[in-house]
Amino acid sequence: MEHHTEIIKSGCHKILEGINSMSLVNLDDQQVHSLVMMREIARGVVDDRDRKVTKNDVITTLRYSIEKMVCASRDIVHMLSRMSYEGLDDQRMHLVLRMKEIAHGIVDKQPRVAITTSEILVDQVCFVDEGARDSPVVDSIKISNGDILIDEAQSTMHEDEMLDVDQVLGFENGIDEVEESLLSSCFQQFLLWPSDDCVTFEWVQDMMFILEKASQKTLPTEFCHVVQTFVVFKLIDAACNVLRKEPNCVEINCLGEDSRVIVVGDIHGQFHDLMFLLKHLGMPSENQFYVFNGNYVDEGAWGIEVFLVLLAWKVLMPQRVYLLRGNHESRYCTEQYGFKKEVQTKYGNQSEDVYNKFLECFKELPLASVIANCVYTTHGGLFRSIHAAASASVNPKQKMTQRVDLGSLADLSQVKRTCIDSPLEGPNILLSDILWSKPFNRDGLRVNAGRKLGLWCGPDCTEAFLKQHNLKLIIRSHEGPDARAGRDDFGDMLNGYSIDHDGESGKLYTLFSAPGYPQFGEKRYNNEGAYAILKWPDFATPSFQSFKSAERPMVYPYLDFDADDTDLSKLDSSQIDIEASTSTFSSPQDASRPEFDFESLGIYNAPSWSVQLPDGSGGSQAVQVPRAPLVEGLPLPPNIEEPHAAAYKYLFELVAGLKHMIATRETENNARVSALRSKARKRKERGHN
């Protein structure tokens, strides 16, 4: 019994420490009371108190805490008023001024203590334990649904609301769960750049945690507060210092025992799938290498998060993480397929500088890798020789279907990769080949006459390239299930990879790592993603593993759907509406919607989360209402009991979803009409010319 009691006390002590270290974010009054109540019960167990914990104890504790906060805020105001800001960088200057503003607000609103400001920042100046001063994470208290009000009315209590400390003694098996729940509560955090400019493993881990939580709980327009432009610029600068020292084709020496290399294909802004890979396969380490084949951004909603996390790992472990460039790491693609709009949404009036900073980094990415002297990886495919490029430059009118000579690794080393967009002609056209080329089932190396970017590479070219450089394998990316739809000559990519060429010297694989692609659009594929594992001692025999899409929050698209071939005069509002609805709201990845059994209240025709909308051809189709990022009316007052509380919550969320859906559709319709009119006007102007 004594041993049992000690275990309980130890667990309650951990709960005390966990609660005492917390900041309160998005907690309503009832949640604050519950949290403090739990702390007082745990304190009673630790201190061997045998009396019951009441709401009066909670009110007394909260009042004491608020009085301390107000007194501390006065001290902060006094200290910051005398403080010299000389030597502070922009980031810390912003935080200090924000802290002073918040502290003033707390003091001015005393004695009723109504805290309505959106953030209370806890910086290195105060409220930070000595052991935590070097942490890059700064907690932020965020109250989004009204004031925290502590007054006499809240001290009303009833005897049946009192909790007995003895009730905790049956909690032994649940202590770990409680501690884990407390420590992983929805506390919004934001990232500070390390004061010594040194990226550590802990900093990268914190960054991944913060970005993952922010993707679930933060509006895109608030992302600039989670990762400030200062941090983005510092990280990109640090990464560019590493990347620009790498050759066009990096050689990866991983010949040690127990070494393995994981090759990843297109990610396309699917941040949660990247997080799955890193957690499932393990982080980069001494014996674990990662090679990413490009296309980190566009199409998906979290291109910024994907690229920043990968840059952080590159800075931390430059000899274990290799980031190659894809065709979407360009101005042309990011303007067309969503990344530029993502940056504009997340960084507002600072977006132009942030976007240009990303473009600068894209230009530094290497173009290919050779793993263990036997495996060649790149984004697109093979390329023409420097001699063939020079000939095309001299005679630009040569037929687009004319065969060209195959290039070598020596030719690859001469490519000027600092072009932000792939050239259509000239001696540096090899950059276009490397990023845009595709395998073909007929021999030869031909210009892609349709797209005018990249080449068609036949199996004889793969064989010649492997044989010339004594390689056994090519792993390229660039094509997903959309690119293979309707093509019977190659694999459909629905399991994430395909063997496209299989010759005497080796094979050519295509690898795609974005499951459930594309995240947005009318045509979606229920495809799996895949990754390749190369192991010592036989790196030339890869193991390809498929994986399904990770759960991800519901978001809205950043890309503008192609309207180049649309005749504006024949497009009515109903067609615009249904196109917008099917593209925006048909995602099977939408967050789960609340459910409630209205029949238990005698209601048999309750509203559902499905609405009928016109399909543009005289009929209708069911469209699921998305969940709104913010819901008016929640949290509910604590005096509303079940089952009515659940019914109110259901209805409030449904109303918020409908309002959000209407607002989003209206915004998209206006943007679509504006874009179509602009394109029609340009076509008309070209016709006059």
Query: What are the residue numbers of the active site?
Result: 328
In DSSP terms, 622 is beta-bridged to: 612
Q: What is the helix (H) or strand (E) element at residue 457, kind and residue range?
A: strand 455-457
DSSP 635: S
By the 10 Å C-beta count (0-12 exposed, 13-18 middle, 19+ buried), 235 is classed as buried
Please count the other Cβ atoms lying within 10 Å of the Cβ belonging to residue 152: 7
Provide the b/e sequence for 206-233 (b: ≥16 CB within 10 Å).
Answer: bbbebbbbbbebbebebbbebbbbebbe
Residue pair 422/432 in contact (Cβ under 8 Å)? The answer is: yes
Residue pair 302/338 in contact (Cβ under 8 Å)? The answer is: no
- Of 341, 392, 330, 404, residue with least CA distance to 367: 330
Residue pair 16/43 in contact (Cβ under 8 Å)? The answer is: yes
Starting at the earlier edge strand, list the strands of the sheet with 507-511.
Answer: 249-252, 368-371, 375-378, 473-476, 507-511, 497-502
Euclidean distance between CA atoms 294 and 379, whole angstroms: 6
How many residues belong to the chain? 689
For residue 659, the SS3 value is helix
Residue pair 420/325 in contact (Cβ under 8 Å)? The answer is: no
Provide the b/e sequence for 455-473 (b: ≥16 CB within 10 Å).
Answer: bbbbbebbbbbbeeeebbb
Q: For residue 684, what are the contacts with CB-CB under 8 A and spacing of at least 6?
A: none
Using the Cα atoms of residue 270, residue 273, residue 274 and residue 275 in order, give the sign of their dihedral: positive
Residue pair 383/411 in contact (Cβ under 8 Å)? The answer is: yes
| Residue reference for tokens 């929805």 | 186
Using the Cα atoms of residue 522, residue 523, residue 526 and residue 531 in order, give the sign of their dihedral: negative
For residue 610, the SS3 value is strand
3-state SS of 31-52?
HHHHHHHHHHHHHHHHCCCCCC
Residue pair 414/434 in contact (Cβ under 8 Å)? The answer is: no
Strands 543-547 and 529-535 come out as antiparallel
3-state SS of 201-264?
HHHHHHHHHHHHHHHHHCCHHHHHHHCCHHHHHHHHHHHHHHHCCCCCEEEECCCCCCCEEEEE
Q: What is the helix (H) or strand (E) element at residue 138, kind and residue range?
A: strand 137-141
Residue pair 89/233 in contact (Cβ under 8 Å)? The answer is: no
